[in-house]
Amino acid sequence: MSLDSPGGQAGEVLYQPDAHTLAFGIIEELAQQLSDGTLDLPSLPEIVIQVRNLLDRDDCSTAQVAQLISSEPILAGALLRYANSALYRRGGAETGSLVTAIARLGLQLVRRVCIEFSLQQLRNAQAFRDKQVLLAPEWARGRSVAALCHALARHTRRAQPDEMLTVGLVHNIGRIYMLSCDDVLASLDKAGQGLVDEWHPAVGRAIAEYWALPQAAVRAIGEQNSAADNAVDTAHAAEETQAVSDLLQLALLIATSDLIGDFDPASVAESPAAQRLGADARLLAAAHDEAEGMDELLAA
């Protein structure tokens, strides 16, 4: 596109980049910042870092974890909510004790609830809160994909369900981060949106690494676009690592079909990820139904 130069002679034109060029320039700069480690990524809350450090110690006890978490009422409340839910209570009495709640849930789930708490804090941060209308569908998609990841992991038994819940919760954190950036927002015409679609897994992978998530989760988040195209390098991936990527791919496929109201278990069962996981139509239908309950729990 060209414009008449306000200070030039008649007929002289001033070049102005089109929307795609502007959008690509913004994403190119972001990619460079990712490459050289200068991108300003969101940090984990201090309480989450403290809990993670404690959980990494060999002499960590349930009582110590409970004492530390009790200093953060929102995190403590989330753990009690999960411990008293139908999914984790399993016939036990309702409890108001963090020690009992943590013992019931296990330390792996405590790690995952800490990530959920981190996302909640991120959602409440000024830069993200100011764009809630734009970001609300992304937070909701994170919950629905997380619920599907959890249910699919339970039914296929190919990965830990609570670990897959974390993968699902943060799978689109790169998109959320990019959409919170004012310069990216300014480029969000059709071309800009396409570039966000293309680049958000790389940004999400950088955030997942920065948050020290397991390498299988980092890989799955970073390769989710490749997985959708069936371009995953399965030959060089450990079986468990590949399963995490496949479970995320499958959850994304089901979540996308749900958006347009055409989930067909038989059709999804023909996908490469479902084939590698041994997930038939009956399993997929059962996991789909189960995910609804977890989605409600995450939204509470």
Condensed to tens digits (0 to 9), the pLDDT of residues 262-292 reads 899 999 999 999 999 999 999 999 999 999 9
Q: What number of residues does the chain have?
A: 300
Residue 6 CB contacts under 8 Å (≥ 6 apart), including other chains: 14
191-206, pLDDT tens digit by residue?
Answer: 667 778 888 998 899 9
Burial 286-295 (b: 16+ CB within 10 A, else e): ebbebbeebb
Following CA atoms 218, 224, 225, 226 in sequence, which dihedral angle do they give, to the nearest 10 degrees?
80
Between these two residues, 147 and 37, which has the higher pLDDT value?
A: 147
pLDDT recorded at residue 228: 46
Lowest mean pLDDT among 1-10, 100-109, 144-153, 170-179: 1-10
If one looks up domain 125-300 in CATH, what number appears? 1.10.3210.10
| Burial grade of 148 (CB within 10 A; 0-12, 13-18, 19 or more) | buried
Contact 196, 23 (CB under 8 A): no
Long-range own/partner contacts, residues 43-52 (CB < 8 A, 24 or more apart): 43/210, 44/118, 44/211, 45/117, 45/118, 45/121, 47/71, 47/72, 47/75, 47/117, 48/75, 48/114, 48/115, 48/117, 48/118, 51/75, 51/110, 51/111, 51/114, 52/111, 52/114, 52/212
The residue with tokens 């496949």 is 246
147-167, pLDDT tens digit by residue?
Answer: 999 999 999 999 999 899 999
Q: What is the pTM of this model?
A: 0.83
Tokens of 282: 């009956």
Q: Is the pLDDT of residue 119 over 70?
A: yes
The angle subtended at Cα 137 by Cα 132 and Cα 138, nearest 5°, is: 90
Q: Is the pLDDT of residue 16 over 80?
A: no
Angstrom distance (rounded) from CA 142 to CA 255: 10
Backbone angles phi, psi at 15, to 5 degrees: -70, 135
Coil, strand or helix at 3: strand
Put residue 106 in one of left, alpha, beta given phi > 0 → left and psi -120 to 50 → alpha: left
pLDDT recorded at residue 25: 72
Delimit the domains of the chain by residue range. Answer: 44-111, 125-300
Q: For the chain, what percent of residues have pLDDT higher than 70?
A: 84
Instruction: Specify the DSSP class assigned to residue 15.
Output: E
pLDDT recorded at residue 187: 59
pLDDT band (50, 70, 90) for residue 211? very high
pLDDT recorded at residue 186: 60
| Burial grade of 235 (CB within 10 A; 0-12, 13-18, 19 or more) | exposed
